[in-house]
Amino acid sequence: MRDLLRTIVRPVVTEKSNAQYSALKEYAFEVRRDASKREIRAAVEQLFGVHVVRVRTMVQRARRAAMGKSVGRQPAWKKALIRLKDGEAIEGVFEG
């Protein structure tokens, strides 16, 4: 099994992810593109000491980005939505 500490890249904190957290108690994380659902589940449980009920993943497509005359691309990235057992929370990720 790969290094679980490198599986989770960062939490995704946006208005949409905060709304989803308050409605469904789901956390959004950017994860490595090659990470499987089992690896993501194990990494979250090990890092935060919680019990994961559900893991949903999606690959966010690459986007064009223009800065003046130059055009580039923002790379594609993988997002994981994590639902925890009732009554559990990850402290410090979403405050609200």
For 53-69, how does the pLDDT look when each residue is reduced to its tens digit (9 = 90+)?
999 999 999 999 988 88
Beta bridge mates, 10: 30
Instruction: With CA atoms as reference, report the closest residue to 45 among 9, 77, 5, 72.
Output: 5
As a whole number, mean pLDDT of residues 23-46 equals 94
Residue 1 pLDDT > 60, yes or no?
no
What domains sit in the chain, N to C, each tagged with a CATH number? 4-84 (3.30.70.330)
Whole-number pLDDT of residue 75: 93
Whole-number pLDDT of residue 54: 96
d(CA 86, CA 96): 17
Whole-number pLDDT of residue 2: 63
pLDDT digits (tens, 9 = 90+) for 2-25: 688 899 999 999 898 888 878 888
Answer for the pair 96, 22: CB distance below 8 angstroms, yes or no. yes
* Beta strand segments in 1-96, E: 8-11, 26-31, 52-60, 63-67, 70-74, 77-84
Looking at per-residue pLDDT, the higher value among 87 and 94 belongs to 87
- Token pair in block for residue 1: 């099994």
